[in-house]
Chain A
Amino acid sequence: MAFKAIIQRELKRMVSRRIYLFLTVVAPVASFLFFAAMFRTGVPTNLPVAVVDRDHTSISRSLIRSLDAFEETDVAMEPGSFAEAREAMQRGEIYGIFYIPPEFRRSASSEKEPLLSFYTNDSYILPGSLIYKDMKLQSALANGVVQRTRMTARGVTEPQLSARLNPVALDTHPLNNPWLSYAVYLSNILMPAVLSMFVMFLVVFSVTEELKRGSATEWMELSGGSIGKALAGKLLPQTVLMGITGTFCLALMYRFLHFPLNSGFFPMFTAMLLLIVASQGFALLVLGIFKNTRIALSACALWAVLSFSISGFTFPVRSMPEAMQWFAHLFPMRYYFLLYVDQALNGIPVAYSISSYLALLLFAGSPLAVLPRIRSLLRANKYTP
């Protein structure tokens, strides 16, 4: 009965202030929709490049046309000189320059080795590498065209041609993300990481409020002095609410945006629920360790922001300095990322992912070690600014 009373009290508290609606629904859902809108094309298209054509022949024109035909590349300008193109790049207007030298066609047809140059601006890594790929392919195509004319002239027949042009063909299989979609690769971690942040904030903020209003004594009395009951009653409504928002996140990604979900629903649903309770566990743990709500809030903010980097989805953890590789184990998001790769993306047997599920459970259970400290924090019922 005490348990039910605490839950009712918590629900009443949560509807009494708008900030709770903001933390549980408005801010996380707005972030999900933001990321969904931002990456809606999957791969950025029509990235502007400049072509400096000093040849002005039918061959150079056709090179430019086929470069422009790539979905990711858009030939946005054709300045007369390289200097002009470089200035445009400095202004951030273009991400790459494709340079066709004077006399290109003549040297190509007279065995003289003309030089095609392409420049990318890798201060913008993503567009830089996409354009690099297109320009490289374009140069290879140019090579093929020239070789083809020469070889046919020598009487090499069509079936032998592709073997001659490209003796070793590399067939690439990007497993389970053949579209190389950045939407899949980014949203799958960004969205849950935002949710995890708000889960942690919600826990610490709701305890802060009790201390600030001096209502922790009343709360503890309701639970008959049991800290376990008190915390469980307070957190359960939060878990359920965040669980609903988390399920919305899963539905958005796998149902509406059609991201790969090769594991089926339950492994990822479990991962999401465990991420939520693991984040709650982490928040309580730091609250117990520091016995100070402000420091706990700062620690959660630090953890949440670092999660985006240290989960290792943009820059792999194994390429970080060794100290960071150890540090990464202390982040629930790290394990959620591993679960996403195993389950949603690759759909491998759940047995391979047991340790990551267990790690999240461990985070959820970790506050048990500091329960007495949390109890004394609530008993003191004192707010330290």
Chain B
Amino acid sequence: MGNIYYIFRREFRAITADSAVLIFFIGLTLAYPVLYTYIYSEETVFEVPVAVVDHCGSSGSRELVRAWDASPSIDVAARCTDAEEARRLLYRKKVYGLLEIPADFASDLAGGEQAHISLYCDMGALLNYKALLQSASLVAAGVGKKVQVAGLPYASTKQEEVTATPVQMEEVKLFNPQSGYATFIIPAILILVLQQSLLLGVGTLAGTARERSRRKSSLPSNGHYRSAFQVVLGKTLAYLPFYLVMGLWVIVVIPGIFNLTQTGSRWDLFLFLVPFLTGCIFFALTLSFLCKEREMPFLLFVFTSVPLMFMSGISWPSTAIPPFWKAFAYFFPSTHGIEGYVRINTLGSSFGEVREPFLRLCLLAAFYFLLAVLLYRKEIRKARLSLEP
């Protein structure tokens, strides 16, 4: 007990004395969620500038352009006389798409033939393409429906509408009604930042200790550091207070400030975070054995954030992840943390419904706990051997 307390106190002091570690534990966790929520605060694209080439110039084509311009996602920024002029605007990124209405648009419609309009989209950013396509299909269908109804000389208005679209459609976007980008990506970033900041901070502590020790050991050579079990426990107790506070910041304060979706129960979230945070700490302690120098964590861990994001099933559907990488992803607490957090927070699952990722996290925490204890045991043994003459 005394040893654990000693190790805890010494590690805690090491944290507070090292501004680099404090930046990872507090600064990073504090700032990243704010920054990302700010970047994506608009949630979706509005008023994408587009060009229109109207070869027809009839009242019908003008109405179509007006209706498109009125869509919230579209801004008809240029009306061009020919496609060449519009293409130059596309090249100069003044517009991201171009709608061409042929000369026979009005006559085709009047003559009961199918009229074609062409939409050209710049594919640099898929979100712009989606906005252009959805608004243009909606407008084309709207104009089409008018023609259909007008083309039926018989029956009442109601009956006309039924004939135009005999089957009604209802589209409901559950859990993220406006397809918001922040609503989708921020939960994953919140969870990932907890894990990655721990990796960086704990790695820096270990690297610094190794660098400063003559024996290249991350542990001081005094009698308190004799049991690997006590070392892991003492260190964990030193990191935990920081992450309980930062966990609250990430889980309660950030979604509160930025009005992010919060459907699940807060207590379920807290309960779920226990194995996640302890799992992350043991994981960080294990990987800290890769850090021989203070700067190593940067070189080893920063780049993993993006692949981890894709492996978590958020940025890329988990059903499309190759089996090897899916198995690989199992070894990272973030994979299960993100899954459970999104299910509780965004999809409103109860604790019982996330039992599976919860148990996987517990298993992972136990696995990394054992691994960390084994690695420290080896280190302690090595230190003892080097002390003997």
Contact = CB atoms under 8 A, between A and B. Distances in A.
Interface of A: 19, 22-23, 27, 31, 34-35, 37-41, 44-48, 86-87, 89-92, 95, 108, 111-129, 132, 135-136, 139-140, 142-143, 146-147, 150, 160, 162-164, 166-177, 180, 182, 185, 190, 193-194, 197-198, 201, 205, 208, 293-294, 297-298, 301, 304-306, 308-310, 312-316, 319-321, 324, 337-338, 340-342, 345-346, 348-349, 352, 385
Q: Which of A27, A119, A122, A168 has the most CB of B within 10 A?
A: A168
B115 interface: yes
Given A168-B143, A316-B125, 19 more contacts: A34-B307, A38-B325, A47-B320, A90-B348, A123-B176, A124-B313, A126-B316, A136-B171, A140-B169, A150-B163, A164-B112, A168-B109, A168-B144, A174-B129, A301-B302, A305-B302, A321-B38, A337-B124, A346-B124
A167 B109 contact: yes
Interface string B110-140: 0011111111111111111110010011001
Contact of A166 (B144, B167, B307, B321): B144
Contacts of B123: 174-177, 185, 345
B347 A146 contact: no
Contacts of A150: 163, 166
Given A122-B176, A320-B39, A23 B127 contact: no
B151 A301 contact: no
B88 to A, nearest CB: 9
A151 to B, nearest CB: 8
B270 interface: no
A198 B306 CA distance: 14
Interface stretch (B3-11, B179-187, B220-228, B369-377): B179-187
Nearest to B168: A115
Interface residues of B, number: 105
B303 A197 contact: yes
A170 B140 contact: yes
A145 to B, nearest CB: 9
Interface of B: 20, 23, 35-36, 38-42, 44-46, 48, 64, 91-93, 108-109, 112-130, 133, 136-137, 140-141, 143-144, 147-148, 151, 159, 162-163, 165-177, 179-181, 183-185, 187, 208, 294-296, 298-300, 302-303, 305-307, 310-311, 313-322, 324-325, 339, 342-343, 346-349, 353
A314 B127 contact: yes
Contacts of B294: 294, 385
A90 B263 CA distance: 12
Q: Which of B42, B46, B305 has the most CB of A within 10 A?
A: B42
Contacts of A349: 91
A90 B349 contact: yes
Q: Which of B92, B169, B170 has the most CB of A within 10 A?
A: B169
Contact of A129 (B119, B144, B179, B185): B179
Q: Looking at chain A's contact residues, is the secondary structure mostly helix, strand, loop, or mixed? A: helix
B24 to A, nearest CB: 9
Contacts of B339: 92
A68 B18 CA distance: 58
19 contacts: A19-B299, A44-B317, A90-B348, A95-B317, A118-B172, A122-B180, A122-B183, A129-B130, A163-B108, A163-B113, A167-B143, A167-B148, A169-B116, A170-B137, A170-B140, A172-B133, A298-B298, A315-B40, A352-B92
B121 A173 contact: yes
A294 B298 CA distance: 10
Q: Which of A91, A167, A176 has the most CB of B within 10 A?
A: A167
A143 B166 contact: yes
B129 to A, nearest CB: 6
Nearest to B97: A175
A10 B151 CA distance: 79
A197 B302 contact: yes
A41 B303 CA distance: 24
A162 B109 CA distance: 12
Contacts of A113: 162, 166-168
A44 B321 CA distance: 9
Q: Which of B125, B294, B339 has the most CB of A within 10 A?
A: B125
Given A124-B314, A164-B112, A146 B295 contact: no
A120 B169 CA distance: 14
Contacts of A309: 36, 39-40
A301 B378 CA distance: 32
Given A168-B140, A320-B39, A37 B322 contact: yes
B174 A164 contact: no
